[in-house]
Amino acid sequence: MAKKPQTVFVCSECGYESPKWLGQCICGAWNTFREEKVSDTTAAASIMRKLSGHAAGPSKIAEITSLEHSRMDTGVSEMNRVLGGGIVKGSLTLISGEPGIGKSTILLQTAANIARKYGKVLYISGEESPEQIKLRADRIGGLAEELYVFTENELETILETIEEWNPVFFVIDSVQTLYSSRLTSASGSVSQVRACAAEIMRVSKAKGIAAFIVAHVNKSGDLAGPKIVEHLVDTVLNFSGERNHGFRIMRAYKNRFGNTSEIGAFQMTQEGLREIEDLSSSLLEESSKGVEGAVTTAVYEGSRPLILEVQALVAGSGASFGRRSSIGLDSGRLNMIVAVLEKKLGLNFTNRDIYVNVAGGIKPEGTGIDLAAAIAILSAATGKPVADPGMIIIGELGLTGELRGIPGPERIAGEAQRMGFGRILLPMKNREKWHEKGKIEAIGARDILEAVKLSLQD
Ligand SMILES: Nc1ncnc2c1ncn2[C@@H]1O[C@H](COP(=O)(O)OP(=O)(O)OP(=O)(O)O)[C@@H](O)[C@H]1O
Ligand SMILES: [Mg+2]
């Protein structure tokens, strides 16, 4: 009789199991299969199933008692904003980010704030000693009376402690360091992460305790471990930033209790993460006004307008085809902008390298930054700076070189005025409907050619 296989290969994206290693999974992901013990994957799957298993059958929607969506104040208004107004009771949030970015710091700050306001909080760490955590708490002012630290890696002990202590909030730092003794595979494996996250979810939901789980990311910035965990939890936050500048940006990629367009901005300091309320000022602190290749522009991050700088560098390339590289601007968008500039202004960038950088690690989602990026590239290529350093430039660039209006230019103008800018160059479509009565002067341009004439020095 053929021996039953002992191991199985599991896709870390979707959890699909295959008896042999596959290059591509049925979910379309490449190179995601990890070897696991059969018994472990079965146990992990049964834990997952238990999570959704309500004993009762279908219920009338009108008769279901509503969950009280009361939210807890994290004491960090930037975090409240990203979460949609605070932490929803009984919700599970995953926070991911590169090593050393400040995940443990922000969660310890949050845990201390919640402990001061609402009562007992458990900070469960599988990767640091109590002394290390105390050291951090000393530094960041996190010595709250009701904050308890528990260093443990075994899931079953952790669950027992949570049930017994019944905190209002708990933190798990990190899910990759936990292991369930019901499985034999190592912590951090697909089955372990899957089972641990599912069990934490079950306890959090059953007892109505809000919780945060830290998750590590791999080199490419994806969550290390199964994607399935991201589907499981209520909210997925990412913490990122330019380490050198100390800026940290928090974004929600998924939020079952709010929108995902708001960002939170922080500065890493000796005393922990400090909130940046006036992000435009911080972003403009190191701007290089009046230098070629630098253009001041504005973007919306969620509901707030931000004034920031976009920089470009154009240099001769050693290769016959120049490099196109951008930070903060989508590479497809950059290629399109370069193509429009070539076509409409009769330029040739074929053997030129083009670099574009949006300041402060901000990655604007809209297309309102197109015109500023185009002017920055032209300014870098021609060596002509923007004529008026007190001018900001906004607008979307169309394929025919026309400028398209962007939503909410008045609020951008308000922010620009607050920051001391006197003029705003924007698409004619926006100019025609201009209602702003402030001091800022609005100048409309129909297409890229007109915008260049109105912005760059002769
Ligand atoms: N004494 C200090 N003064 C100022 N900043 C500090 C100090 N100690 C640590 N930091 C900052 O805190 C960061 C580490 O923060 P933290 O441990 O919260 O990160 P993490 O995301 O939890 O990291 P890991 O992935 O290793 O768990 C360091 O990179 C550094 O920027
Ligand atoms: Mg940490």
- Which residue CA neighbors atom 10 of ligand 1 most closely? 270
Mean pLDDT of 262-267: 88
Range from 118-127, 216-225, 319-328, 426-435 that averages highest in pLDDT: 118-127
Same domain for 262 and 289, yes or no, is no
Least confident segment among 5-9, 49-53, 136-140 = 49-53
Q: Tell me, what's the pLDDT at 219?
A: 61
The predicted pLDDT at position 66 comes to 66
Asked whether residue 299 falls in the same domain as residue 254, the answer is no
pLDDT at 28: 84
Residue 95 beta carbon below 6 angstroms from any ligand 1 atom: no
Same domain as 208, residue 178: yes
In short, whether 268's Cβ falls inside 6 Å of ligand 1 is yes
Residue 247: what pLDDT? Answer: 83
DSSP state of 383: T
**Is residue 170 scored above 90 in pLDDT?**
yes
Last residue of a domain, one of 276, 300, 328: 276
SS3 category, 119: coil
Same domain, 321 and 202: no
> 269 and 292, same structural domain?
no
Question: How far is C-alpha 395 from the chain's CA centre?
Answer: 24
Q: Do residues 272 and 287 share a domain?
A: no
Query: At what angle are helices 370-382 and 448-455 packed, to 10 degrees?
Result: 60
Query: Which residues does residue 96 pair with via DSSP β-bridges, in sequence order?
Result: 215, 238
Q: How confident is the model at residue 360 (pLDDT cuts 50, 70, 90)?
A: confident
- Please tell me the distance from the alpha carbon of residue 442 to that of residue 71, in angstroms, as a whole number: 42
pLDDT at res. 333: 95
High-pLDDT (> 70) share of the chain, %: 93
What total number of domains does the chain contain? 3
Do 301 and 450 lie in one domain? The reply is: yes
- 223 pLDDT above the threshold of 70: no
Q: What's 411's domain CATH number?
A: 3.30.230.10
User: Could you tell me if the CB of 101 is within 6 A of ligand 1?
Assistant: yes
Q: Is residue 269 part of a domain?
A: yes
Answer whether 244 contacts ligand 1 (Cβ < 6 A): no
Same domain, 236 and 254: yes
| Domain-located, residue 418 | yes
Residue 58 is predicted with a pLDDT of 85
- Residue with the nearest Cα to atom 4 of ligand 1? 270
Q: What's the pLDDT score for residue 182? A: 86
- Give 102 Cα–ligand 1 centroid separation in angstroms: 5
442: in domain: yes
User: 397-413: per-residue pLDDT in tens?
Assistant: 999 999 999 998 988 99
- Supply the pLDDT for residue 6: 81
Do residues 258 and 309 share a domain?
no
Q: Ligand 1 centroid to 184 CA: how many Å? A: 32
Name the domain boundary from 276, 311, 334.
276
In this structure, is residue 59 part of a structural domain? no
Task: Say what the pLDDT of residue 361 is.
Answer: 75
Q: Which of 276, 298, 330 is the last residue of a domain?
A: 276
39-91 pLDDT per residue, tens: 777 777 777 766 654 556 788 888 877 665 688 999 999 999 999 999 998 89
CA of 215 to the centre of ligand 2 (A): 9
* pLDDT one-digit tens code per residue, 236-255: 999 887 666 678 889 898 99
Q: What's the average model confidence in pLDDT over 408-435? A: 91
Which residue's CA lies nearest to atom 1 of ligand 1? 270
Q: Are residues 255 and 287 in the same domain?
A: no
Same domain for 224 and 252: yes
**Dist. CA 112 → ligand 1 center (Å):** 17
Would you say residue 386 has pLDDT above 80? Answer: yes
Q: How far is the C-alpha of 304 from the C-alpha of 297, rounded, in Å?
A: 14
Contacts 24+ apart (CB under 8 A), 399-402: 399/336, 399/340, 400/344, 400/447, 401/340, 401/343, 401/344, 401/447, 401/448, 401/449, 402/446, 402/447, 402/448
Q: Does any domain span residue 58?
A: no
User: What confidence tier does 434 reach under pLDDT thresholds 50, 70, 90?
Assistant: confident
Element (H, E) at 396: strand 396-397
The H or E element that residue 307 is part of is: strand 304-316
Q: Give pLDDT, residue 143.
A: 95
98, pLDDT greater than 80 = yes
Ligand 1 pocket, residue 270 CB under 6 Å: yes
Nearest one of 249, 269, 240, 255 to 93, comparing CA atoms: 255
Q: For the chain, how far is it from start to end, CA to CA, in angstroms?
A: 86
405 C-alpha to ligand 1 centroid (Å): 42
Q: For the chain, what is the mean pLDDT?
A: 88
Instruction: Kindly list the protein residues that place their beta carbon closer than 5 angstroms to ligand 2, a single-atom ion.
Output: 104
Distance 104 CA to ligand 2 centre (A): 4
- The letter for the amino acid at 158 is I
For the Cβ of 297 lying below 6 angstroms from any atom of ligand 1, the answer is: no
**pLDDT tens-place string over residues 269-285:** 999 999 988 888 888 88
Domain check: are 20 and 125 in the same one? no
pLDDT (0 to 100) of residue 54:
53
| pLDDT, tens digit (0-9, with 9 covering 90-100), for 103-132 | 999 999 999 999 999 999 999 999 999 999
pLDDT digits (tens, 9 = 90+) for 302-356: 778 899 999 999 998 888 888 999 998 999 999 999 999 999 999 999 989 999 9
Residue 286: its pLDDT value, please?
A: 75
In a domain, 54, yes or no: no
Residue owning the nearest CA to atom 15 of ligand 1: 102
Distance (Å, whole) CA 402 – CA 449: 9
Beta-carbon-side half-sphere exposure of residue 389 (alpha carbons within 13 Å): 8
Instruction: Please report, for the domain that includes residue 246, its CATH number.
Output: 3.40.50.300
Alpha-carbon gap, residue 171 to 159, rounded angstroms? 12
- Report the pLDDT value the prediction gives residue 345, as an integer from 0 to 100: 93
Domain-embedded: residue 50: no
Q: Domain for residue 63, yes or no?
A: no
Domain hosting 292: range is 282-455
